[in-house]
Structure 1
């Protein structure tokens, strides 16, 4: 689920070529990274809670155990981000709090009604967020980039969701139409939420348009969201759904 084409990557320059100790000398860059880690940490904590809830809807004990394992992996990611925030002298809860309302709102508005909708939400919604963070990671200092990419590692949910959703559609084809509409709604809500969060945080928005992290400009932000949309279309196809 990697959006940036790493095979065409150019050598790192500017901030992307520095380590944290050097890059963090810029207070605006430091603020942007703290925001980024705070948003990621709360997202991982919310993912843990959601997967634990989704496990209750699982039709079999094996499915329940699989989701519980994924939830545990998400909590491990949260712990790494929390520990990193503390390591750089930031209070983790304070770093996460600005993003809680937006992420909680997204999850309230997109609460799944059944097991299959929960699988599609985790696969589609989490993948969109991962695509966004991977795009940003390409312009981060080397230490922060390594951490962000590590916590975005697939917990196994992608292949699990594809297998279960495709099997359900094969067994009952009409399910596909309902899930396709659901996935389109998730796409719209996820992009709106991401744009809203960035717009409300000056340091993050400055990073994206090039004021801090070299290489981004307004045109590139547009191309970034185009790449995220294209990746979503491919994932929909993998699920056996029309985008």
Structure 2
């Protein structure tokens, strides 16, 4: 079982505090880039209603970023410093997966954000209640998932030939996301502390970590089915 941090003095452990700062820095940068991406996707939207919907979701992403910035300030960790270690891998991911059109942008947001959210929720089970509550609050869906599913399914129903191409695109996104995730995992020991624990805080063993990624893979398959695309 994953050990849940409940002690009020959890942040007295420097390694634990560094892990939480890393987690919030990574999540905050993801939300900030999500805001930028949704604002850009709004420019590709085919209708004014779609533009307005994405613009509203982008605003929600920015508010999530602000919540994380506030918490990092409380921890004495400047948001720029907390996010800086993750800028290169996230920018590389987005550079390698720039969507060519509106539908690819929707699939990217749905698949990429979904994978990231699944991982963050798993990690949130290993942290203190206040951090866990904030992570889950920030990950609350602003309506983008249902929006993306609806628009992609409509397009595939109208032109079934799109399904194969978008499924290939989704697989490419997953490959790129996993590659960058591995890079972050190698570079940031502090994040590993949240999963495997330490001397005074047992965490996951290798079997549990394997189960974690199995659950994430299953959720991705379910997400692709909902999207109307084969895995």
Q: TM-score range by the shorter chain?
A: over 0.9
Corresponding residue to 1:229 among 187, 199, 217: 217
* 1:3 aligned partner: none
Gaps of 5+ in 2: none
Normalising by the residue count of structure 1, what TM-score does the alignment of the two structures yield? 0.91
Q: Distance in 1 between matches of 2:230 and 2:129?
A: 38
* 2:7 aligned partner: 18
* 2:203 aligned partner: 215
Q: 1:199 touches 1:205 (CA, 8 Å); kept in 2?
A: no
Q: Which runs of 4+ in 1 moved over 6 A?
A: none
Gaps of 5+ in 1: 1-9
Give the stretch that moved more between structures: 209-218 or 131-140.
209-218
* 2:121 aligned partner: 134
Is 2:99 the counterpart of 1:112? yes
Normalising by the residue count of structure 2, what TM-score does the alignment of the two structures yield? 0.96
Q: Distance in 2 between matches of 1:211 and 1:168?
A: 49
Aligned CA-pair RMSD: 1.4
Corresponding residue to 1:101 among 85, 88, 94: 88
Instruction: Give the C-alpha shift of residue 203 in structure 1.
Output: 1.0
Is 2:181 the counterpart of 1:181? no
The number of residues matched between the two structures is: 230
